[in-house]
Amino acid sequence: MAKTVYVGMSGGVDSSVAAMLLVEQGYKVVGVYMKNWSEDLPGMKCPWAEDLADAKRVAVKLRIDFEVWDFEKEYREKVVEYMLSEFKAGNTPNPDIMCNQEIKFKLFYEKAMKRGADFIATGHYARTGQFECVLSGTGPSRPSSRGSGPHTLAAASGLPREKHSQLSQTRLMRAVDENKDQTYFLYRISEKALARTLFPIGEMTKPEVKKLAEKHGLHNAYKKESMGVCFVGEVGMKDFLKKYIDVQPGEIREIESENVLGYHEGAVFYTIGQRHGLYLSGEKGAVNDGMPYYVVKKDLKNNIVYVSKNLNDEHLWTDKLQLKDIVLRQSEYILSGTGPSRLSSQGSGPHTSAAASGLPREEYSRLPSILVRLRHRAPLVPAEFDGETLYFEHKIRRPASGQSAVIYDDGICLGGGIII
Amino acid sequence: MIYLDFAAATPVNDKALKAMGPYFAEEFFNPSSPYLPAKKVAAEYESAKAVIARAIGAKATDLVITAGATEANNLAFTALSLGEAEPTFKILYLETEHDSVRRVAEQCGGVAIQVLPSGLIDLEDLKGKITDGTELISVSLVNNELGTIQPLAEVAKIVREIRLDRMRRGVKRQLLLHSDASQALNLLDVNVARLGVDLMTLNSAKIYGPKGVGALYVSHEAKLRPLVAGGGQEQGLRSGTENVPGVIGFATVVAEAKKHVKNNRAKYRELRRILLDELQGYELINKKHTLDNFVILCYNGLDAERLVFLLEDKGVYVATGAACAASKGVRSHVLKAIGLSDSEIAGSLRLSLGELNDAEQMHEAARIINEVVLAERARING
């Protein structure tokens, strides 16, 4: 009998093509629109009903069942509340990552499984691969999925493979379309859900997806892509925050001189490194030479935003990033017995899953030559990781606190954490 | 293409299109300008308004031209007196009204009048809800989702009696009757005196005229306040340079509609009969008291939205409930008001016929709808 897949359909071209491919592959497909948000904001109509209609139109065309699952309450509790509290704390959270963790790959996944699904699917640009994993010690063997190379980290172990029991594990892998890869948003999803997830368009490029949509007469082939946070969009974030966070206007000061250059509507709206949307009066001797100012520091207690023209300002750069709320899907990569200071002894101790075994920090060894992504679509940067802190060879532009650093070993997304 | 959604939009009539043409680029003058060519445009604008007004038994000065029926409905509610303690009692409105009445009425704390399962106004409910505080009653002439024709003259009779009674008792409060007649002008005799209305909304877009043009008929009983202030056009009730081509187009289609009311009704009666004869497995929702071009079908157990998309694929365009209700993701309040269950509402299609349709199209539409309904039933059953 055909396996059953519940596919999340947003009304966009990606999830529409995903659903179509699943139908072509012979699955019994059920389309689900997740209704996470429907509230209009002043001057901004929430497009949920139109999106739903778009999704449904495709489902009808594909002759598949279609349902609407209402997660509004949960979305508000798990995603919006998190987002607001992070902003209030001066951080720049990524609600889409939280939405994937809490809604799409938890509530949606759980409900689909309860309804008898064999798999869930989404229109994300990502892939999964089955890897034979050794329980304690070595990294995975060659992946069975096409498109990813040998895994360098396996070499970190000095133990012979045959000593270890093996099992197959599902790994999150970067999409073929490097430009669209969405694993940055998916690094926090549970291993359990991942094992039952299909990403039908992960092997395709965006232009291929669009072309296929056109070829099959899916009307949303040319639908404008939604950008930023799904329910407000990038432009709307400030209006959204204003509605929920009580903010006070305050000063914008130049960090070097402490001169007041202008005023802001509320420090929480600003992100370190930001250079747009600063309305500076240029008073008190600030020379208006056309060079942009960057936000370099926020003093939430005194509601002051500090800016600088100096792109080399120390606040903007760093060679290490400390992470919290770390998720490491391949915990066996964190080898025990050594700390960052004892790199030379790496690989000599007993190899257990450090994260799982709760070994003290000094028992972690550094992970050499991993790759890190600090923003969606940002280039991968080589780094080392000791289980808590990322170390970069060269200084990088410091990402805002609250954003995620996502860790890769070649094509595999190992996990990541929230930047402190 | 078989278009069966004329209650949502109508194509602009050829004559109207031609009549409007010169007023975009040649006769572009501002009617308020002092020189002769502008004065000529002003005169033509006024004659066009007079044509529209005459069609409903009124004078040009009784009409306020608006940018559509929604604005006209909003403007009608400015007839309420200002600043009294209990605004709750000022407005009564039919629960099946279009959102452009419902939302405003709700904002002013209006009270809804119920409809009977037939879709007709429950006159007893109306009588029971009128108090000495009631100032405005809003009842559409034709419902936009069902086509139900309301017995407006009977409502007007009740209104007259209440007014007389108030005078006898020395109660000074005004009582006005407003009616949204957007859907009706090409199929009914719409005469303000015969209907007994004080305020009436007209809409060009529903009768083969341009979109974005409407009018509010205002009797001498009603004293309005402008929603749009400015240069004082439209008797000071709707400022803004006149939409000359729009009104010229509107007047052209009003004149056309007036000429063809009788033939239109006969035509749609026949087309509706073909559909009802040849369609299968439906329940007809609007059996009586309806404009002949409205056919509301219920396929209980089916999802009408799916039917819309399946029919769209085959070039047949129909609606579920009101067009805007569907895109907002809310179930029709109208179908709920006439007592349909959730599953009946979910399975209801609105077909509204119009000038592009003929008998042949009805046969074809019935065949395609039957086919799609059958396929959906088969899909559901297994």
For residue A162, the model assigns a pLDDT of 43
User: CB contact, 8 Å: B309 with chain A?
Assistant: yes
Picking from A53, A57, A61, the nearest residue to B327 by CB comes out as: A53
Residue A352 pLDDT > 70, yes or no? no
User: Partners of A198 in the beta sheet?
Assistant: A121
| pLDDT score, position A156 | 35
**Interval A98-152: pLDDT, tens:** 999 999 999 999 999 999 999 999 999 999 998 765 554 444 444 444 333 333 3
Q: What is the pLDDT of residues A3-19, one digit of tens each?
A: 999 999 999 999 999 99
Dihedral sign for Cα A380, A381, A385, A390, please.
negative
Whole-angstrom Cα distance, residue A153 to residue A350?
16
Angle at CA of residue A191, ends A190 and A192, nearest 5°: 90
Q: How far apart are CA B334 and CA B326, in angstroms?
A: 12
Amino acid of residue B348 = S
Question: Rounded distance, CA B192 to CA A110, Å?
Answer: 61
pLDDT the model gives residue A329: 74
Q: DSSP string of B105-168? A: HHHTT-EEEPB-TTS-B-HHHHHHH--TT--EEE--SB-TTT-BBP-HHHHHHHHHHHHHHHHH
Contact with chain B for residue A356, Cβ under 8 A: no
What are φ and ψ of residue A213, in 5° steps?
-60, -45
CA dihedral B127, B129, B132, B133 (to 10 degrees): -140
Q: With a cut of 50, which residues of chain B have pLDDT below it?
A: 325-326
At the topology level of CATH, where does A316-419 sit? Elongation Factor Tu (Ef-tu); domain 3 (2.40.30)
Nearest-CA neighbor of A143 among A135, A153, A133, A134? A133
Note the pLDDT of residue A289: 64
Q: What is the pLDDT of residues A52-93, one digit of tens each?
A: 889 999 999 999 999 999 999 999 999 999 999 999 999 999
CA distances from A153 to A330, A367, A392 (A): 11, 8, 18
Q: How far is A14 from chain B (nearest CA, A)?
A: 20
SS (H, E, C) B19-37: HHCHHHHCCCCCCCCCCHH
Of residues B192, B189, B239, the one with CA closest to residue B67: B239
Instruction: For residue range B226-251, list pLDDT tens digits in order.
Output: 999 999 999 999 999 999 999 999 99
Amino acid at B190: V
Average pLDDT score, chain A: 81
Share of chain A above pLDDT 90, in %: 54
Mean local confidence (pLDDT), A231-250: 78
Highest-scoring range by mean pLDDT, A155-159, A360-364, B222-226: B222-226
Distance CA(A351)–CA(A342), nearest Å, equals: 16
Give the span between the Cα atoms of A74 and B199, in whole angstroms.
47
At position B252, the amino acid (one-letter code) is: T
CATH class, domain A237-314, is: mainly beta
**Residue carrying structure tokens 């299909």:** A198
Using a cut of 0.95, tell me whether the model's pTM lies above it: no
pLDDT of residue A275: 79
Model pLDDT, residue B128? 96
Helices (H) and strands (E) in chain A, counts: 11, 17
Domain boundaries, chain A: 4-126+174-236, 237-314, 316-419
Active site residues of A: 99, 230
Per-residue pLDDT, A280: 67
Chain B neighbours among A 11-40 (CB < 8 Å)? 38
Alpha-carbon gap, residue A137 to A163, rounded angstroms: 10
Cα dihedral A208/A210/A216/A217 (nearest 10): -160
Looking at residue A247, what is its pLDDT? Answer: 86
A219 touches B at CB < 8 Å = no
Query: Which residues in chain B have Cβ-Cβ distances shorter than 8 Å to A63?
Result: 379
Reported as a pLDDT band with limits 50, 70 and 90, residue A350 is: very low
* A192 has a pLDDT exceeding 80: yes
Q: Does A53 touch chain B (CB under 8 A)?
A: yes
All structural domains of chain B: 2-9+261-381 (3.90.1150.10), 14-255 (3.40.640.10)
Q: Using CA atoms, how far apart are residues A229 and A367, in angstroms rounded to an integer?
A: 32
Assigned superfamily of A4-126+174-236 = HUPs (3.40.50.620)
Highest mean pLDDT (candidates A2-16, A163-177, A236-250): A2-16
Question: Using CB atoms, which residue from A48, A52, A60 is nearest to B309?
Answer: A60
d(CA A213, nearest CA chain B) in Å: 15
B326 contacts in chain A (CB < 8 Å): 53
The region of weakest confidence among A91-100, A209-218, A336-345, B313-322 is A336-345
The 10s digit of each residue's pLDDT in B173-193 is 999 999 999 988 889 989 999
pLDDT computed for residue B217 by the predictor: 98
Give me the residue from A48, A60, A61 closest to B329, CB to CB: A48
Confidence at A292, pLDDT banded by 50, 70, 90: confident
